[in-house]
Structure 1
């Protein structure tokens, strides 16, 4: 999980650098981020849903058996992957030379995406991983 979180946070940092420099763009940085987003999220989400979340649910005692947390995290995975597709599309267009007509809107989109990823990671670090004995 440490590696997965590190990779997601590195992606967030790359997206933040892109957002911070708009309307100026580094085409290669946009293309690199665009090519990484969807496969990275899919792989990490699959691991979390097949390994981490079942271990977390098994670790819950009857008094904390609130599976709403994992349901919410799974729903966030779906939302993140949908949003990732939109972010990828924009970054590919910019990376291939399309002009950024509304830098504020693109920056807002990127920030909305990477901030939601960071919140997801923070929740997992604070609540899920300690329950299964993983130190991140």
Structure 2
């Protein structure tokens, strides 16, 4: 068994609880993106596209910022595995780049531009939410167990 990170940081964070909350919010966004992908090639909800476009990057930045500032340093102290931390940070950067492209496409459609290639748009949506779900699953399996349970 590995050592656990303390229950709360100096900033008042509860790493495990806050990370689980971020995971839930990201998974809800993934569900919304999947629902949009499932609507293709038919009538895709323009308002839904705009809502996702306006919230996706701020949510991603908040989750990844918290993980990089609080969770990953704590994980690195207990696990001493810099390769995992480097991998997760690299995935955060890749996810951010993919989210920017996705937000551009969501915004364009939300503002009235037709989806010229529904298959490519669907692939973009699915690639993003599949990647996010894999990333979250890895963190749940390998990072969360190293964090102290908080009450």
Of the three residues 103, 123, 126, the one matched with 2:138 is 123
Count residues with an aligned counterpart.
131
- Does residue 105 (structure 1) correspond to residue 96 (structure 2)? The answer is no
> Could you say what secondary structure the match of 2:114 adopts?
coil
Q: What are structure 2's unaligned runs of at least 5 residues?
A: 1-18
> TM-score scaled to structure 1, two decimals?
0.93
- Measure the CA separation in 2 of the matches of 1:30 and 1:112: 17
Q: Which residue in the other structure is 1:55 paired with?
A: 74
Give 4+ residue runs of structure 1 displaced > 4 Å after superposition.
Answer: none
SS of the residue aligned with 2:107?
Answer: helix
RMSD value, Cα? 1.1
Say yes or no: does 1:16 pair with 2:31: no
Query: Per-residue deviation at 1:131?
Result: 1.1
The structure 2 residue matched to 1:95, chosen from 110, 129, 133, is 110
More helix by share: 1
- Unmatched 5+ stretches in structure 1: none
